[in-house]
């Protein structure tokens, strides 16, 4: 602790960014809301997705801290990463989640120092909303490393934040609507009582191993599953579920045999070490019954999962399975769940989750303008031609003037400069 204390930075150590002044509102009033998400802070810097970008994140947080115009900072999920851990690594190292989040804080000390300074200054409200990569992190353990932070939670592993004075705004991570990433308290209740980890957790553990191995050619071949010759809706969906897994395993090969027990859990109710074959749907005979060990009958319980996860407008199971890796599908849920939902008066929605920063205007069920924004990510490398990183959203609320507009602006940081990527506005 003495080492950390002696190295703490003062204001003169922060140089700021060139480019756009993202935190100017023309009045000096403290009314702006900043949204960041998908920081993916890990406990081990050797495989954490956010490493090279930590210094820029710390700098941005300091600039937020000293800006006289910022009222709120919202961290919209995937702040802490329990998922991006190689399958062969024991996430908790034989200890518990409290120890894990303490290691995350130590690994990313400077970032947490500035966040805690913002909270302790008590000038800017800091709100955390769970994402899928930190859906299992308890409120107590978030508070352990960020004491006094506001937390927006409405179900296990989920939350939506609406500022008290801005009911037209909803901020959530977006994983609530994703088959692979929404909390699943049903499928494994007999194998892992109390667990609500979805299938995406196991995929991410395998994909992280793929990254660490830099594997090009898979060390094994998946057993073939064919459509059931006596089909019904459940078995048709089971085949689609298998096909989605096969596609992912083809994209992210690993060196290991698929019956090797390599996926160490000891997290969120799980106590065993599993193989790839334990996760994959299987058949005993070609064209026969398609069964599962983990996530048994997951294709039949999506409706019940949506109920437990407070999904306002249910998504059909076939569509949910088919679109679980689609960014556009997640974006569209802002429109489905909020803008076209006659029970919703929300006009501005901010998601994270997809890592695809953007602003999309549209209209709601009353024909009024709406704005969807995605807050992007802070991971070091965000693949894709139009995928940026070090992104953030700034919202400037309208005032009492009838002609005043609420502005939603998207920025990112590149080459130590802030660049405005998109902007839009509306009056509500």
Considering the domain architecture, whether residues 38 and 77 belong to the same structural domain is answered as yes
Domain endpoint, select from 268, 300, 332:
300
- Cα separation, 171 vs 389, in Å, equals 19
Q: How many CB atoms lie within 10 A of CB 307?
A: 12
- Cα separation, 43 vs 109, in Å, equals 11
So what's the pLDDT on residue 5?
Answer: 40
Q: How many CB atoms lie within 10 A of CB 70?
A: 23
Considering the domain architecture, whether residues 359 and 213 belong to the same structural domain is answered as no
Considering the domain architecture, whether residues 282 and 374 belong to the same structural domain is answered as no
- Cα separation, 161 vs 153, in Å, equals 8
Considering the domain architecture, whether residues 39 and 143 belong to the same structural domain is answered as yes
238 within some domain: yes
At residue 216, φ and ψ (nearest 5 deg) are -105, -40
| Separation of first and last alpha carbons in the chain | 49
186 within some domain: no
Q: How many CB atoms lie within 10 A of CB 9?
A: 12
The 3-state DSSP class for residue 201 equals helix
Q: Name 409's bridge partners.
A: 394, 423
366 within some domain: yes
**Tokens 């409405």 label which residue?**
154
Considering the domain architecture, whether residues 148 and 17 belong to the same structural domain is answered as yes
Q: E-assigned strands of 210-331? A: 263-264, 273-274, 282-283, 290-291
Considering the domain architecture, whether residues 216 and 335 belong to the same structural domain is answered as no
Q: Name 426's bridge partners.
A: 406
- Cα separation, 182 vs 7, in Å, equals 40
- Cα separation, 200 vs 24, in Å, equals 39
Q: What is the DSSP letter of 232?
A: -
Number of folded domains in the chain?
Answer: 2
Q: How far is CA 119 from its chain centroid?
A: 22
So what's the pLDDT on residue 7?
Answer: 60
Considering the domain architecture, whether residues 205 and 161 belong to the same structural domain is answered as no
Asked if residues 346 and 339 have their Cβ atoms less than 8 Å apart, the reply is: yes
Considering the domain architecture, whether residues 238 and 123 belong to the same structural domain is answered as no
- Structural domain including 334 reads 2-81+97-177+324-426
So what's the pLDDT on residue 368?
Answer: 98
So what's the pLDDT on residue 21?
Answer: 97
88 within some domain: no
239 within some domain: yes
DSSP 389-400: -SEEEEEE---S
Q: Domain of 374: which CATH number? A: 3.60.21.10
Output 146-155 pairs: Cβ under 8 A, ≥24 positions apart.
146/112, 146/115, 146/116, 146/119, 147/116, 147/119, 148/119, 148/120, 149/115, 149/119, 150/125, 150/126, 151/127, 152/127, 152/128, 153/129, 154/310, 155/183, 155/308, 155/309, 155/310
- Cα separation, 255 vs 266, in Å, equals 23
pLDDT digits (tens), the chain, 428 positions: 333 444 678 787 888 999 999 999 999 999 999 999 999 999 999 999 999 999 999 999 999 999 999 999 999 999 999 999 999 999 999 999 999 999 999 999 999 999 999 999 999 999 999 999 999 999 999 999 999 999 999 999 999 999 999 999 999 999 999 999 999 999 999 999 999 999 999 999 999 999 999 999 999 999 999 999 998 999 999 999 999 999 999 999 999 999 999 999 999 999 999 999 999 999 999 999 999 999 999 999 999 999 999 999 999 999 999 999 999 999 999 999 999 999 999 999 999 999 999 999 999 999 999 999 999 999 999 998 889 999 999 999 999 999 999 999 999 999 999 999 999 999 99
Q: What is the DSSP letter of 53?
A: T
Domain endpoint, select from 265, 300, 335:
300
């Amino acid at each position: 602790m003495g080492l950390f204390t002696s190295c703490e930075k003062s204001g003169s150590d922060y140089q700021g960014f060139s480019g756009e002044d993202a935190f100017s509102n023309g009045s000096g009033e403290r009314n702006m809301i900043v949204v960041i998400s998908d920081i993916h802070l890990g406990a081990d810097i050797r495989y954490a997705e956010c490493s090279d970008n930590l210094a820029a994140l710390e700098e941005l947080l300091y600039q937020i801290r000293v800006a006289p115009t910022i009222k709120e900072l919202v961290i919209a999920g995937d702040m802490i990463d329990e998922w991006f851990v190689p399958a062969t690594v024991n996430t908790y190292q034989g200890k518990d989640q409290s120890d894990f989040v303490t290691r995350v804080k130590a690994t990313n000390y400077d970032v947490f120092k500035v966040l805690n300074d913002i909270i302790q200054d008590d000038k800017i409200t800091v709100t955390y909303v769970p994402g899928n990569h930190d859906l299992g992190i308890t409120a107590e353990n978030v508070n352990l490393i960020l004491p006094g932070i506001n937390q927006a939670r409405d179900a296990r592993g989920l939350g939506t934040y609406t500022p008290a004075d801005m009911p037209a705004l909803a901020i959530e991570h977006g994983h609530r609507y994703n088959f692979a990433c929404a909390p699943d308290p049903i499928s494994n209740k007999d194998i892992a009582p109390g667990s609500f980890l979805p299938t995406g957790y196991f995929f991410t553990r395998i994909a992280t191993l793929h990254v660490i191995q830099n594997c090009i050619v898979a060390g094994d071949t998946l057993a073939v599953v064919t459509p059931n010759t006596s089909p019904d809706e459940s078995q048709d969906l089971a085949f689609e579920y298998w096909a989605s897994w096969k596609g992912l395993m083809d994209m992210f090969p690993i060196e290991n045999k698929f019956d090797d027990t390599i996926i160490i859990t000891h997290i969120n109710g799980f106590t065993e070490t599993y193989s790839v074959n334990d996760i994959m749907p299987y058949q005993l005979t070609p064209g026969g019954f398609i069964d599962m060990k983990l996530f048994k009958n997951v294709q039949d319980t999506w409706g019940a999962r949506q109920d437990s996860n407070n999904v306002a407008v249910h998504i059909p199971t076939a569509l949910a399975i088919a679109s679980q890796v689609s960014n556009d599908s997640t974006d569209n849920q802002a429109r489905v769940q909020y803008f076209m939902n006659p029970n919703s008066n929300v006009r501005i929605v901010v998601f994270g989750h997809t890592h695809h920063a953007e602003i999309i205007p549209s209209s709601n069920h009353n024909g009024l303008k709406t704005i969807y924004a995605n807050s992007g990510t802070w991971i070091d490398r965000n693949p894709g031609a139009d995928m940026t990183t070090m992104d953030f959203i700034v919202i400037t609320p309208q005032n009492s003037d009838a002609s005043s507009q609420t502005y939603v602006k998207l920025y990112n940081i590149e080459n130590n400069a802030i660049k405005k990527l998109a902007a839009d506005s509306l009056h509500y």
